[in-house]
Chains A and B, each alone.
Chain A
């Protein structure tokens, strides 16, 4: 049965050169049974440390971690009933694939026939049924990855923890494996935490994403919510590509602001929980696919580069403010194209954009 997982005010303080570094700062999160939550953020943001605290490799300096309602903050890793998949796979190089997968079952003291059956099942699940007599150094990166996965899955852990498991694979295999991992996770209905710095991975795989920055949680939400309603400029910039257009609030009407951007006033949705008054500075976040080139009526600028990408044109436009904006225009034969050096006017649908405090 899938279990809940709860982190409340978890912090980790490291001593580094006589200075205290709060690697993880008051992180709280509750994960529903069977849910897959990814921790996303740039390197050094504390996501791996948080995961390692859930695993029990690190002990929180403050806060509490509960699995299925039971406090496990001080329970050693080998009694937590978790499965951990390492970035470098951490297969035992002196054991065959079979012995690697059987390791945890032997610790549990299963009978030999039982072990045999479960290892076979586990290897079949990851599509490596024929590799059991080989050694880790005879396998490719993707195969090693799948052995590492099978090794924890045969134990039917209550919580599955993965630390950037795909970052050592090549691009094509990475895309294949992320659907594979998601399929298995759903199939087994296991609660899962997944650390990555790859937003594509986070957006495609997770039920919810927790974006972290400098040890703190920036935002937790479903992938679409994070993309369309970023709560902070950091999230807006980190997830996908974003144009951040500075402006000034002219009027406030409920959840909609009138924002002056480069002399044009747009009615823009205010970010949830944001409070604005007239005269405030605001940043309007416009995704490039929402910022389209036109012949007039928008924010004026000059095309710096025009790149054809097959499905779309990408324009880098130098605005009067000195900033560059990125505009994606879907390509259709016969459509108006702008060339480098040409003047252009950028328009966007203000209903899809969102305004954040500066």
Chain B
């Protein structure tokens, strides 16, 4: 007879014995997660709940008693709900248009390209453009002859965030709609249902998990968004991230800021858990399963198609309009007052902003490969090695990503401002903030790609005599490279454009382009802000083009089904 635990114990021991590189890798990961994820969060809790050595709810009570802070909490939830409803709706309309309505290929490509613009732009872009057109002296207001329209507050923030985040929903839902077996819709039609009925009874129910997922993604994004409400919220519409920021930078109240960020953390964690444990399990759509080939598109009815396309094209036109405003804003002297063309603003960017450009590029260039390496190792161990604490490792490595940037930023400020780990003012703290926050996409991509790679390919390598390290570098890594590059692209874009966490961490020694844009905005230097944005967008474009080229080069050989079927 065997003891219940016997088989388990032997396999664990021999896993380490067979794979000598595993233990050092695990130790390195856990140490870095402990320092850059768990420790800051722990310090944040300490600051919130321990007053003079005693556990206390005083800090939280102060926040909850303040009418203004309570309002910020309600506003945050309300705004996030409104943004996720509108963004998911818009995303679904786009996804439906691209996946279900016949249109020429270039038009599809065009719609996709325009929607990626908000994804790779710095967070202020749409805020600036909306201010230029709907704010005081805005050109749209003048055009429409509306005199005093108060754009600041809920409406402006909602509009800007919806435009910024709906592409996320579009990408999620387009994947879901593409994966629905077209035979199911054909079956509905062949059973006599009208296109509208098939949509209502087949397509829509099958996309419910995708819709729920998109809703939660947008909810979390809006909840965590810091830049938009800072520019467009105004005094009448406080939300938690801006409130926490002002508490710390304006009133030097670290405890109040910590308490506010704790309030922000609660709904964010709720969303994270919902997404992980509820939506994650409710997916009907299997991406890997064999589906019938997509038969020709059937008309969905002229009226419905027209409506969907009309929404798509007007939103697309509006996005293009906003981006052309940024470009225009960057090359005129004073927006709306003196419209003479000038290169003065770009000259400003390349002289006064030169340090910010170099710093930002340096930080992104350091964080990207490091984060990519980290994603490879974490993703590989999480997916391939059955080991104690694996789930926890994956969970903690995604935690900073799930938390709002403001929370992470405040936690870092609290944790790394004093010994034993004094990092304030260094580049390390900025790189770490970006790495541990945005390698999540890379980890997910690596895990997804490993799901596609049958373990037998690695077993083949070891049965041919190769050891674990050789197998990893000769077989597994080359197959993961496209996923890693995708993750690195994401990491790079966000290292260039994110602000919510790092605004707490910049210093005289290290400045960032995004914080420079924010400074220009607060000093009402719109033209310079536009010029900075244009330069930043172009830099991101150039870098992603390089990484995309590399991805394509790496994918070319291993695309297709070779070795899998």
Contact = CB atoms under 8 A, between A and B. Distances in A.
B457 interface: yes
Interface in A90-119: 90-94, 103-104, 107-108
- Contact count band on B: 35 or more
B564 A93 contact: yes
Given A55-B463, A77-B462, A92 B475 contact: yes
B2 interface: yes
Given A93-B479, A135-B557, A137-B562, A103 B456 contact: no
A321 interface: no
A43 interface: no
B466 A78 contact: yes
B253 interface: no
Nearest to B554: A94
B465 interface: yes
Nearest to A141: B565
Contacts of B470: 107
Contacts of B14: 59, 74
A131 to B, nearest CB: 13
| B8, B465, B466, B474, most chain A CB atoms within 10 A | B465
Contact of B8 (A15, A79, A83): A15
Contacts of B462: 76-78
A74 B6 CA distance: 16
Contacts of B10: 59, 61
Contact residues of B: prevailing secondary structure = helix
A262 to B, nearest CB: 45
B565 A62 contact: no
B561 A84 contact: no
Contacts of A108: 465
A151 B560 CA distance: 21
A56 B475 CA distance: 19
Interface in B207-233: none
A29 to B, nearest CB: 20
Contact of A83 (B7, B461, B463, B559): B463
A136 interface: yes
Contact of A135 (B2, B466, B562): B562
A13 interface: yes
Interface in B525-540: none
B459 interface: yes
B454 interface: yes
B463 A91 contact: no
Interface in B1-24: 2, 4, 6-8, 10-11, 14, 18
Interface string A58-99: 010110000000000010111100111011111111100000
A103 B4 contact: no
Contact of B558 (A12, A78, A93, A138): A93
Contacts of B454: 88, 90
Given A107-B466, A137-B563, A77 B558 contact: no
A249 interface: no
Given A59-B14, A93-B558, A82 B7 contact: no
Contacts of A151: 460, 464
Contacts of A155: 464-465
Interface in A134-148: 135-139, 141, 144, 148
B464 A138 contact: no
B456 A88 contact: yes
Given A62-B2, A88-B454, A77 B459 contact: yes
A8 interface: no
A77 B15 CA distance: 12
A270 interface: no
Contact of A78 (B463, B475, B559, B560): B463
- Contact count band on A: 35 or more
B336 interface: no
A56 B565 CA distance: 24
Contact of B2 (A61, A77, A92, A107): A61
Interface string B539-565: 000000000000000000111111111
B513 to A, nearest CB: 37
Given A84-B459, A94-B478, A168-B565, A107 B557 contact: no
A342 B561 CA distance: 55
Interface string A145-166: 0001001100100000000000
B335 to A, nearest CB: 53
Nearest to B453: A93
A90 B460 contact: yes
A57 interface: yes
B2 A82 contact: no
A104 to B, nearest CB: 4
A167 to B, nearest CB: 12
B466 A84 contact: no
A20 B464 CA distance: 32
B563 A136 contact: yes
Interface in B475-496: 475, 478-479
B2 A103 contact: no
B467 interface: yes
Contact of B465 (A15, A78, A93, A144): A78
A14 B479 CA distance: 30
Nearest to B463: A84
Interface in B278-333: none
A90 B8 contact: no
Nearest to B456: A90
B565 A88 contact: yes
Contact of A103 (B461, B478, B560): B461
Given A57-B459, A62-B2, A77-B459, A89 B467 contact: no
Contact of A90 (B7, B457, B478, B561): B457
A83 B4 CA distance: 33
Nearest to A18: B4
Contact of B459 (A20, A79, A90, A136): A90
Nearest to A77: B462
B460 to A, nearest CB: 4
A94 B557 contact: yes
B7 A13 contact: yes
Contacts of A78: 462-467
A107 B11 CA distance: 26
Given A61-B7, A77-B459, A168-B565, A94 B465 contact: no
Interface string A314-354: 00000000000000000000000000000000000000000
A137 B478 contact: no
B483 to A, nearest CB: 13
A83 B459 CA distance: 11
A54 to B, nearest CB: 11
Given A13-B2, A83-B463, A155-B464, A138 B456 contact: no
Contacts of B559: 137
A343 to B, nearest CB: 48
A304 B564 CA distance: 46
21 contacts: A14-B7, A55-B459, A59-B10, A59-B14, A61-B10, A74-B14, A77-B462, A78-B464, A86-B459, A90-B456, A91-B457, A91-B562, A92-B460, A93-B558, A135-B557, A136-B562, A137-B560, A137-B561, A137-B562, A148-B460, A168-B565
- Name the 3 nearest CB pairs between A and B, nearest first: A137-B562, A104-B464, A137-B560
Given A91-B457, A94-B478, 8 more contacts: A20-B4, A76-B18, A86-B459, A90-B563, A108-B465, A137-B561, A144-B562, A168-B565
Interface of A: 12-15, 20, 55-57, 59, 61-62, 74, 76-79, 82-84, 86-94, 103-104, 107-108, 135-139, 141, 144, 148, 151-152, 155, 168
